[in-house]
Amino acid sequence: MLDLGPTFVKVGQVLSTRPDVVPQVYAEEFVTLQDAVPTGPYREMIPALADDVGYHSYDDFDPEPIAGGSLAQVYRATYQGDQVVVKVRRPGVKDLIETDLRIIRRFIPLVMLLAPERLQFSLRNMADDFERIILEELDFEREARMMDEIRANFDRDENETVIIPRVYHDVSSERVLTMAYVEGTKITNVDELVAGGHDPKAVARNVANAYFTMGLEHGVYHGDPHPGNLAVDDDGYIVFYDFGMSGRFTAAMQNSVVNLYLAAVNRNVDGIIDELIALGALDPDADRAAVGHVLELVIEDLEGSETVNWQQIISEVTGMLHEFPFRIPPDIMLVLRVGSISEGVLRQLDSEFDFLAAAQTFLREHGFMERAARMKLAEIRSELEASLWALLRLPTKLERELDAQEKERMQVVARTQQQAPRSLGYAILAAASLIGSALLVSVDPTYSLLGLIVVLVFLFLFVRSSHNGGR
């Protein structure tokens, strides 16, 4: 992958988060591509700086890179008296990637023909997702917008645990991103954190809560939590770097993620399947019974384990769902990446850190449990209300239907030979409406009058029909 160039380095990095496509052992190896790209000479970066923002715009510029990746390199500089870092896209990388993407697109039909049917759903979607992801990561203007939005979200919350570096837009472009230099201790340097007076366990909680807040409350989140992108400043704030991989959740996706978690906690297999389909992870045409059986086996396996972590859950689920049209959408892929990487990072801070327990605590403290319960009750209330109104309209329809059937039967047999007296039908409907009314009242007492009316209507029809001899 390194020899093939930046496109294939990104392919490997994406595959490191796709256990639905490659075996876990390959995914783990591809993770090493994150830090395996050598830095390039500074002179190659000068044209982008000169053409886009003006090479002499900076008071001072250190030509020695402080970080490098497959798409860009990062430098220290001074701008208008402020210490900044400058991210510069590697020269010619966009043209090279677009050429590689054209080649990849031509090979996709052949790959689809040769791939097992169970992988075709994942591969087809991953090919579309990858092109969008890598082109977005090449666009530093998008990265700047995401940083601004995430920073504004935390500022609006008056959050006192997170720092998102400020962007200097007048010296930024599609190829150059200038942002404030925020010094901090690398999050995995536990000894330095302790020496600086920071509690590693508190740091772990703050990082986890920051990610939960971004994903479930703000809807825009940092998607690359490896140790080089997280630090702690002198005041204990969590500093986030590099927003090239960042994602966005719609309100519907946020609700689906919460509902998926609640369904898993409650061992609700049908609910899990519904949310996997809603998230685009499972083909709607998949065999629900077969998928449900597999998920039940997964739950049994996990419940039989002494300890369960995020990575184990992902491995179990994706491993067993390989036989189905299952894929991981790009935004969900980023969530899995955040969960997998951050769990490993946070356990270096706190060996007993439980990502799932932290998620449950966050959901409970921020009202997500109650919100999901209210939504479910509202759904039940709506269904019961519709059922009761349907019952109210039923007598007229039932009268017409029974009259038609009675006239037809009278032409064949005598009235005394009728097998289904009308009064019995009304009795059954009265009992059913009584049960439905009780359920609706338990959800919302304001419907008690409506329920009582429905029951009385059917009781009246039952009594009248009985007096008329079942007619």
pLDDT digits 0-9 by tens, 149-192: 999 999 998 888 899 999 999 999 999 999 999 999 999 899 99
Q: Is residue 220 part of a domain?
A: no
pLDDT for position 470:
47
397 and 342 in a common domain: no
388 and 354 in a common domain: no
pLDDT for position 466:
59
Per-10-residue mean pLDDT of the chain, 471 residues long, equals 81 71 78 69 80 87 85 92 94 86 80 69 66 86 96 89 95 95 92 93 92 89 84 94 86 79 77 83 81 80 61 68 66 70 82 80 78 59 63 61 65 50 60 61 58 62 58 50
- Cα distance between residue 83 and residue 307, in whole Å: 45
Decide if 443 contacts 384 (C-beta within 8 A).
Answer: yes
Q: Is residue 164 part of a domain?
A: no
- Cα distance between residue 7 and residue 103, in whole Å: 11
The CA–CA distances, whole Å, from 318 to 115, 283, 347, 404 equal 18, 14, 23, 57
Q: Is residue 166 part of a domain?
A: no
Q: Which residue has the tokens 């801070």?
A: 349
Nearest to 80 by CA among 45, 44, 116, 56: 56
Q: Answer with the one of 108, 138, 168 that is the final residue of a domain.
A: 138
130 and 16 in a common domain: yes
389 and 317 in a common domain: no
pLDDT for position 418:
47
Handedness of CA 363, 365, 367, 370 (dihedral sign): positive
pLDDT for position 7:
80
433 and 367 in a common domain: no
Cβ neighbours of residue 154 closer than 8 Å, sequence gap 6 or more? 162, 164, 213, 218
Decide if 185 contacts 193 (C-beta within 8 A).
Answer: yes
Q: Answer with the one of 105, 138, 171 that is the final residue of a domain.
A: 138
Helices in 1-139 by DSSP H: which ranges?
6-15, 24-30, 46-52, 93-114, 117-138
Domain of residue 98 covers 1-38+92-138
pTM (2 d.p.): 0.69
401 and 320 in a common domain: no
Nearest to 220 by CA among 186, 244, 194, 246: 246
Q: Is residue 57 part of a domain?
A: no
Query: To the nearest 5 percent, what fractions of the chain are helix, strand and coil?
Result: 65, 10, 25
